[in-house]
Structure 1
């Protein structure tokens, strides 16, 4: 099991316990060693899952020893957070063709909004997107690492657009997006060549946004999203597959 898949296993287990009421505010999670042993993953994967849950405001972690150490549930999923968690869990079973079509619609609206904002004189915050784009240029990235950065780049654009609903949906689809990305990576004969193309496509999308040309930004993002799946033979006309 890859490290990326492993920490998602931990995250999904804790998410499920929260949504089903098996965990509630005030409850303490088992220690890293126990969670790792129970779920068959490394302790680093447990730490990464807890970091994500802490960033969502659902757990608090404390180092050291004693009754206040470790991870404690501090909030129950409510409202938008509960919906996001349910979407993350459900997304594992979405047909890839539906995810591709949804991404094309959502992300076209995202880059359109960003490019229109630039054209109209606004200055959307693209700092994280730029940073992720640079990080993806590293030559020693493993496929899982590249795909994790890729998914985060797309989410960062949604967040920069200011549309919190679209950003939440994109965050909820992250498991499915990375899963199909890994499936596609495994199906491509020349992964380095594909990575070079993906890097160029990401840069081209951001160039269109920075130039304030919404039509071009929409065209480039749709081509980028659908082109990857076509090259990996995960086309919308192929039989629908389920997530992991």
Structure 2
């Protein structure tokens, strides 16, 4: 059975079917004649079961553990019921608070008092930490925004343009310790801004697809990673110039700089999402 036939049989899109396969939730056989996937009736039933469990809100990892016999289906279902109960309680409480505010005729922002509805604010903020995580994602939007990407590209392009005439005919593009292990034409300096463009428009769509089922911050995370890779390209470009001028000779400086920036961004991002109180 072809993937088109599976789409017609299950009513699911090709992207969902491919995603389940990529997550190793099922593994179709291959047609020995052409190497194409050959989906069996068992595969179709597995796809339908997986999709149904996903509609219940069960995470992909939970489904994988059931399929791999690491957990019983009943255990995963019980865990999901507990999770749904917690969500239901939170929604019920939010609904009650909204109803109370309507009953009290809270009509404008200036007049209503939070303390009138919540007794212990610190505990209430802690209970709703997950809500504030989405607000804190602004940190990712800041670093991952198109403006930052544009600045990185412009910085890389300007660096290439301004330094091109002063470069030797051959410039280093690979290093080993304090030695250039590979040289290329000096026009290679323009490969760095080009890489920033390619990362944004070719790699980013794949990141978006890969992160689709993994995080609610899919777009922000994809932009975040994309811009970091552009920073790596810019730092490599700057290191090339410094190496050529004899100012810096050890490639470890580049690795340390990139690693330090990555560690800082991860730390700040994690703290923004999970470490701050509202």
TM-score in terms of structure 1 length: 0.23
TM-score in terms of structure 2 length: 0.21
Task: Flag the structure with more relative contact order, 1 or 2, with Cα contacts below 8 A and sequence separation at least 6.
Answer: 1
